């Protein structure tokens, strides 16, 4: 059994990055009256208690979500209203994860499917979302669901893929699964998050994805000058959107804004993966 537990990292700068983009995508989907579906393939536990022993070990939220609690920027208004709903007194005590954020943003008639394989996380997810309307929780393999459950019957919606990358091969396998899912649903919107770590696994992922048939891939990255938590050594956060429903400027503005509010120097970068070059010798994308 793999041991990753997101609660150690809940609310960190990468969560702000991925969840702000998630919210922007959901807002766009809600712009039309037709119902839609969200499939969250690696849902986590839904709600994270930031006073827990795990979350307070490194207090990663102090250099992430906590820096946005009084952010007046309209770009972050939806993000803040959801985080504040779970923290009505103003102090950040509970952090909503992707599954809870999705349910909060969706209309009761929109359908949410959350997949989480870890038994402990799944139990918590059931507590957080077990009684919500039009919400299905499945304890199974998220990568299998990614391929098997598309396209959605509604033909509208979003697939969120936020793996824990505990196995080295997961980066390349993910590109293969995305290729299979995209072949079944080339019009689908997919949001994928990746960490930027010393081992550079994300470059393998981007290179492998660049070498598939998948088209229209926009990437947003935030790189930190120095990782705030030495132990985790994550120096950046990346978000891939396949078939983004808006132009590059939209993601540019959001990425730049988030980077500008972080307490350490951070470098935002947004690009189309399709336009990047592959170095034939190293296989690495020249960024
Ligand atoms: C980065 S966390 C997800 C965080 C979540 N998306 C959020 O925003 O709150 C990754 C999750 O994937 C789960 N997981 C790992 N391998 C999985 C698999 N093959 N299928 C489904 N879930 C898996 C882990 O237990 C963990 O909860």
Q: What is the pLDDT of residue 108?
A: 87
- From the CB of 132, is ligand 1 less than 6 Å away? no
Query: d(Cα 20, Cα 104) in Å, to the nearest integer?
Result: 13
- The answer to whether the beta carbons of residues 7 and 54 sit under 8 Å apart is yes
Kindly name the residue from 70, 162, 173, 249 that is annotated as catalytic: 162
Residue with tokens 């709600």: 47
Q: Which atom of ligand 1 sits closest to the CA of residue 100?
A: 9
Q: What is the pLDDT of residue 228?
A: 57
- From the CB of 42, is ligand 1 less than 6 Å away? yes
Query: In whole numbers, what is the pLDDT of the chain averaged over residues?
Result: 93
Q: What is the pLDDT of residue 284?
A: 64
- From the CB of 65, is ligand 1 less than 6 Å away? no
Q: Give the pLDDT band (50/70/90) at residue 229.
A: low
Q: Could you tell me the domains of the chain? A: 6-286 (3.40.50.150)
Dihedral over Cα of 176, 10, 150, 138: its sign: positive
49 carries an active-site annotation:
no
- From the CB of 124, is ligand 1 less than 6 Å away? no
């Amino acid at each position: 059994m793999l041991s990753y537990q997101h609660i150690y990292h809940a609310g960190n700068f990468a969560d702000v990055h991925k969840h702000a983009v998630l919210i922007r995508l959901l807002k766009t989907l809600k712009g039309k009256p037709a119902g839609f579906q969200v499939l969250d393939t690696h849902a986590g536990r839904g709600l994270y208690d930031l006073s827990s022993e795990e979350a307070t070990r490194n207090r990663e939220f102090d250099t992430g979500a906590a820096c946005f609690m009084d952010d007046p920027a309209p770009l972050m208004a939806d993000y803040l209203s959801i985080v504040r709903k779970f923290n009505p007194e103003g102090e950040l005590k509970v952090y909503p994860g992707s599954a809870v954020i999705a349910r909060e943003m969706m209309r009761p008639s929109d359908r949410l499917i959350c997949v989480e394989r870890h038994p402990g996380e799944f139990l918590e997810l059931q507590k957080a979302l077990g009684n919500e309307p039009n919400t299905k929780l499945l304890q199974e393999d998220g990568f299998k669901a990614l391929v098997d459950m598309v396209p959605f019957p509604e033909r509208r919606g979003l697939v969120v893929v936020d793996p824990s990358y505990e196995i080295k091969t997961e980066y390349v396998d993910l590109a293969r699964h995305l290729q299979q899912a995209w072949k079944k649903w080339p019009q689908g919107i997919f949001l994928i998050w990746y960490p930027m770590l010393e081992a550079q696994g994300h470059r393998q992922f981007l290179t492998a994805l660049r070498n598939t048939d998948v088209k229209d891939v926009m990437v947003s990255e935030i790189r930190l000058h120095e990782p705030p938590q030495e132990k985790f050594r994550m120096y950046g956060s990346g978000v891939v959107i396949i078939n983004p429903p808006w132009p590059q400027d939209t993601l540019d503005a959001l990425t730049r804004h988030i980077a500008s509010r972080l307490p350490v120097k951070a470098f935002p970068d947004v690009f189309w993966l399709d336009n990047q070059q592959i170095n034939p010798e190293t296989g690495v994308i020249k960024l």
